[in-house]
């Protein structure tokens, strides 16, 4: 039997810089927040993550970035991330130009055009069914995607790979993008389902407004997937408002027999309840905001002794609620970061969601 080494896809970017040592240090610091970082005997910096690997090597008056991945989308993400950082640092006086795999003008491997095939209203949600090609990678890792939402009546032209590794939009500016969860994915059928909340003030909000007007035949862009893993445990505490509910539904649906989950879900009222089938032993608690019930108050009543020693706490909710719950989980429950997956899914008064955690 012949053994094949995994195919390595490689691309290279040479960034002219007056101070390549400083540029390498800044890249290592910023990208290293989401990747492991080692310095080789030859002095190169190598950053590795689930996306692949990049090597930062000094040249006369330049930094050479060599990106490598087994997966075209992983490589494309590394190229985009590196270019974004170099441009953010104000380092590039000249246009950036990657050579190697993923030439300018080629399709973006992490992008799909999706067509609405179904749109149903239940409670304050719209459930959109979207169809697209080649969805395998969207079932493999994170649960979340970024939807690129064309304005009403606009025939959107989609991006391709830019010379500098970032998406290049033929008509200039990209449309607004919002993050949603794939509540269900069927790769064979080329189909995903997304539950989108019609929240207060939704008519001026690109995500919710698109959800409300979506009809079969409409198209939307989708990139991803993204989002972290759920650490293995036998006991879980899930905490969510409506925006985290689709992720709770998917995690419960995919959870094996033998796990125990307590899910505390804050919604407006009874009309937002939904079936949450699971092979796990699941205890679901619905809190009605309309009656004054709140996630934070409920969580305040949970003491460290009420939790199993190996519990993993997962949450998706509004920024302020997340912050209060995070503090309790660390200060009162004494949970370490590796057993906490608490994310801010939106921020009151701020369009475009909130993806920063300021613990
Ligand atoms: C990883 C992740 C997964 C997510 N999954 C889902 C999902 O599956 N379904 C889903 O519906 N949402 C989900 N969200 C939340 C969603 O991305 C945000 O609510 C987003 O702001 C909605 O965009 P929009 O264009 O409708 O509103 P925006 O234009 O972003 O906001 C307009 C105004 O509406 C307010 N607003 C936004 N969201 C809400 C809300 N939920 N309730 C009340 N006011 C709000 C904002 O504060 C702002 O004032 C997820 C977020 C993340 C980070």
**Atom 21 in ligand 1: which residue has the minimum CA distance?**
353
> pLDDT digits over 253-312, tens only?
999 999 999 999 999 999 999 999 999 999 999 999 999 999 999 999 999 999 998 999
Percent of the chain residues past pLDDT 90, beyond the cut:
85
* First-residue to last-residue Cα distance in the chain: 52
> pLDDT digits over 114-128, tens only?
999 999 999 999 999
> pLDDT digits over 122-157, tens only?
999 999 999 999 999 999 888 999 999 998 988 899
Residues recorded for the chain? 359
CATH code for the domain of 20: 3.30.310.50
User: Do 197 and 115 have their domain in common?
Assistant: yes
**Are 213 and 152 in contact, with CB atoms under 8 Å apart?**
yes
User: Do 258 and 319 have their domain in common?
Assistant: yes
- Residue 358 pLDDT exceeds 50: no
pLDDT at 228: 79
What is the domain extent for residue 95?
Answer: 9-100
**Atom 53 in ligand 1: which residue has the minimum CA distance?**
345
**Do the domain assignments include residue 106?**
no
Summary mean pLDDT of the chain: 93
Q: How far apart are CA 245 and CA 211, in angstroms?
A: 17
- Report the 10 Å Cβ neighbour count for 119: 18
- Out of 100, 127, 143, pick the residue that ends a domain: 100
Q: How far apart are CA 147 and CA 177, in angstroms?
A: 5
Q: How confident is the model at residue 5 (pLDDT cuts 50, 70, 90)?
A: low
- Out of 100, 129, 150, pick the residue that ends a domain: 100
Q: Is 84 strand, coil or helix?
A: helix
**Atom 51 in ligand 1: which residue has the minimum CA distance?**
345
The ligand 1 atom at the shortest distance from the C-alpha of residue 347 is 47
Q: What distances in angstroms separate CA 23 from CA 18, 46, 58, 134, 171, one per listed residue? A: 9, 14, 10, 37, 32
Q: How confident is the model at residue 73 (pLDDT cuts 50, 70, 90)?
A: very high
Q: How many domains does the chain have?
A: 3
**Do the domain assignments include residue 359?**
no
**Atom 43 in ligand 1: which residue has the minimum CA distance?**
199
The ligand 1 atom at the shortest distance from the C-alpha of residue 209 is 26
Q: Is the pTM of this model over 0.85?
A: yes
Q: How confident is the model at residue 204 (pLDDT cuts 50, 70, 90)?
A: confident
- Residue 161 pLDDT exceeds 80: yes
**Do the domain assignments include residue 357?**
no
Q: Pick from 119, 205, 226, 316 the residue to mutate for probing ligand 1's pocket: most ligand atoms within 8 Å of its CB.
A: 205
């Amino acid at each position: 039997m012949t053994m094949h080494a995994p195919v390595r896809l490689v691309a290279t970017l040479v960034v002219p810089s007056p101070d390549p040592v400083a540029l390498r240090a800044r890249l290592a610091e910023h990208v290293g927040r989401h990747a492991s970082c080692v310095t080789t005997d030859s002095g190169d910096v190598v950053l590795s993550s689930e996306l692949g690997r990049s090597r930062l090597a000094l040249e006369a008056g330049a930094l050479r970035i060599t990106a490598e991945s087994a997966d075209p989308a992983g490589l494309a993400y590394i190229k985009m991330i590196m270019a974004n950082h170099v441009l953010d640092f104000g380092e590039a006086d000249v246009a950036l130009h990657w050579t190697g795999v993923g030439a300018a003008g080629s399709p973006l491997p992490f992008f799909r055009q999706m067509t609405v095939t179904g749109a149903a209203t239940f409670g304050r949600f719209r459930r959109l069914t979207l169809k697209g090609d080649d969805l395998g990678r969207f079932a493999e890792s994170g649960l979340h995607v970024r939807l690129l939402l064309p304005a009403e009546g606009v025939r959107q032209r989609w991006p391709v790979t830019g010379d500098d590794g970032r998406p290049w939009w033929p008509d200039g500016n990209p449309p607004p993008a919002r993050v949603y969860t794939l509540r269900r994915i069927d790769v064979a059928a080329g189909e995903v389902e997304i539950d989108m909340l019609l929240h207060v003030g939704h008519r001026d909000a690109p995500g919710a407004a698109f959800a409300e007007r979506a009809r079969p035949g409409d198209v939307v862009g989708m990139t991803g997937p993204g989002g972290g893993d759920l650490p293995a445990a036998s006991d879980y505490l899930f905490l969510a408002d409506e925006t985290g509910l689709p992720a709770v539904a998917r995690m419960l649906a995919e959870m094996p027999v033998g796990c125990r989950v307590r899910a505390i879900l804050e919604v407006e009222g009874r009309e937002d309840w939904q079936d949450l089938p699971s092979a796990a032993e699941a205890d679901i608690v619905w809190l009605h905001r309309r009656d004054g019930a709140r996630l934070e108050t409920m969580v305040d009543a949970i003491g460290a002794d009420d939790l199993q020693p190996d519990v993993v706490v997962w949450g998706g909710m509004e920024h302020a609620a997340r912050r209060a719950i995070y503090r309790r989980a660390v200060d009162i429950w004494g949970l370490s970061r590796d057993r906490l997956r608490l994310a801010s899914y939106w921020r009151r008064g701020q369009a475009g969601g909130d993806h920063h955690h300021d613990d």
